[in-house]
Structure 1
Amino acid sequence: MSSTIIPIAILLIVFASVTTIVASFFKLQRHRADAAALAEYRKLAERVTVQQETISAQLAELGTRVEAVEKLLRSVG
């Protein structure tokens, strides 16, 4: 009886080890994919921030130009 239990126990240990290794591998792959996506989002956020700052500067310049045109129109009228 004990001669059949030992091989079964060894097979169970090997199966559990292989299952754990495979599960860990796929978890690592998922983590790598998430990290790559997060890095891409970070780059996108940086580009958007730079573009927003550029647009804000352009809007501020347009605001001053509009004020100058309004002042000119008031002085003429």
Structure 2
Amino acid sequence: MQAPVPVRFSLLDVVVLTEGVPGAGVPAGAVGTVVHVPDPSSTHCEVEVADDGGRTLWWGPVAHADLAPHRPCGPGGS
């Protein structure tokens, strides 16, 4: 059986953190935006988590393996 192909995220992708960020108050399940991808082979990208008013709550590196694509529900979502 083949190993799953790792998901790579691109600039401005909306993602869900599958692991919280210890010491930063960012829980698993937080929704963020990819704001920097160092290069296509990188195992990490930088993610910004903001509040409903658009204020940055946290910004930092996250492993691609600790992210999942955000799938919105409701109008326009599936």
Higher relative helix content: 1
The higher-RCO structure (CA 8 Å, 6+ apart) is 2
Of the two, which has the highest radius of gyration?
1
Higher relative strand content: 2
TM-score over 0.5 for the pair: no
Report the TM-score when normalising by structure 1.
0.17
Report the TM-score when normalising by structure 2.
0.17
